[in-house]
Structure 1
């Protein structure tokens, strides 16, 4: 996916998360309709986006959340939400990333909500990511890949990942909203992320992995001290 770059000047005193969240909100508001459905990811930057969305007073249908954490943030902000189980479409999905390429592939799952996040991203007409510029990479793999796994399959999946050159480590104290565990796996070859994404999901016991390559980001906001850099598909 080819990407076009543009730059938005913003107040240098804003924190990086607020800059990225505000840029994403401005993009959403420019085309938002009263019937629009907004998908909400998980994490600190997304929670800033929720607050800014509330403050904007924008009119839209409702939100759909990727996690119990984000559902609590939506409730605290007084924003309408419908459950993911009844979601058929999303106009905009906004979420953070752990790593991302300029071509749109990303790694997600640091907040352990990757399975529901991928459902929402796949349903979305527009997938927008928000992050600081340090998360824009030339290649993926510095961040261990989160993989959601059925608890009963932990040993089997661990062995399968090791056979691929991976070094999986169970995330301590982490049970996902789906009742599963997370294996954070270093050492995998992510040079062909779409092939690896598909291969990992074919391992029995793997619920989902954190490679977002089959469904790439459409627009990516990266903030730094100078402002926000947008990477957007043509």
Structure 2
């Protein structure tokens, strides 16, 4: 993916999440139609987007949520939703990131919804990420990589990850909406994210990992104290 940068001056006192979410909303509203379907990720940043979307009174078909947490946020906002199990295609998917490269490759899963998030991102015609610019990194691996696994496979997967140089740690008190557990793994070589994404998902017991390389972002919105900027595909 070839990316270009577009700066958007916004020196308001909005928090960084709001600045990024407002820019993403503008991008969505430009092509939104009454039949559009919007996928919603998980986390505090995307919940700001949900609130702004509801306040915009935009006309579209419905939202599809990646988690029970986001479903509750959509319900509170009064937006129409349909279950992810009934979804096969989206016009937009909006989500935060834990870290990302300027080519659209990201790591997600801090909210423990990475498996459903990847389903929705893959279904979407346009995948938009929103974050403050501390999440934009030169190389992946600063944020431990979340991997969702079957509980029965914990010992096997941990052993395999250690042979790869990884340092896996089970996320305490975390059970995903799918009934699984999360391993947060540091120390892995992430210089080739596509290959690593595929390799991790080939391990028996692994449900999904948090590398979004095969389905990278089409538009990345970052904010800082000076405003917001977009990294987008040419």
TM class, shorter-length: over 0.9
Shift of 1:229: 1.0
* Corresponding residue number in structure 2 for 1:111: 111
Offset from partner CA, 1:34-59 (integer Å, 9 cap, x none): 00000000000100000000000000
* Corresponding residue number in structure 2 for 1:134: 134
* Corresponding residue number in structure 2 for 1:218: 218
* Corresponding residue number in structure 1 for 2:52: 52
What stretches of structure 2 of length at least 5 have no aligned partner?
A: none
* Corresponding residue number in structure 1 for 2:11: 11
1:23-34 maps to which residues of 2 (within 5 A)? 23-34=23-34
Q: Taking structure 2 as the reference length, what is the TM-score of the superposition?
A: 0.99
1:135-150 maps to which residues of 2 (within 5 A)? 135-150=135-150
* Corresponding residue number in structure 2 for 1:39: 39
* Corresponding residue number in structure 2 for 1:169: 169
* C-alpha distance in 2 between matches for 1:93 and 1:110: 17
* Corresponding residue number in structure 2 for 1:200: 200
2:34 is equivalent to residue 63 of structure 1: no
* C-alpha distance in 2 between matches for 1:124 and 1:98: 20
Offset from partner CA, 1:89-108 (integer Å, 9 cap, x none): 10000000000000010000
* C-alpha distance in 2 between matches for 1:79 and 1:177: 21
In the alignment of these two chains, the number of paired residues is 234
Shift of 1:9: 1.1
Q: Taking structure 1 as the reference length, what is the TM-score of the superposition?
A: 0.99
* Corresponding residue number in structure 1 for 2:20: 20
* Corresponding residue number in structure 1 for 2:157: 157
Give SS of 2:82's match. Answer: coil
CA RMSD, aligned part only?
0.5
Shift of 1:18: 0.2
Give SS of 1:157's match. Answer: helix
* C-alpha distance in 1 between matches for 2:217 and 2:164: 26
What stretches of structure 1 of length at least 5 have no aligned partner?
A: none
* C-alpha distance in 2 between matches for 1:92 and 1:8: 21
* Corresponding residue number in structure 1 for 2:227: 227
Give SS of 2:127's match. Answer: strand
* C-alpha distance in 2 between matches for 1:17 and 1:191: 28
* C-alpha distance in 2 between matches for 1:9 and 1:92: 24
* C-alpha distance in 2 between matches for 1:51 and 1:178: 26
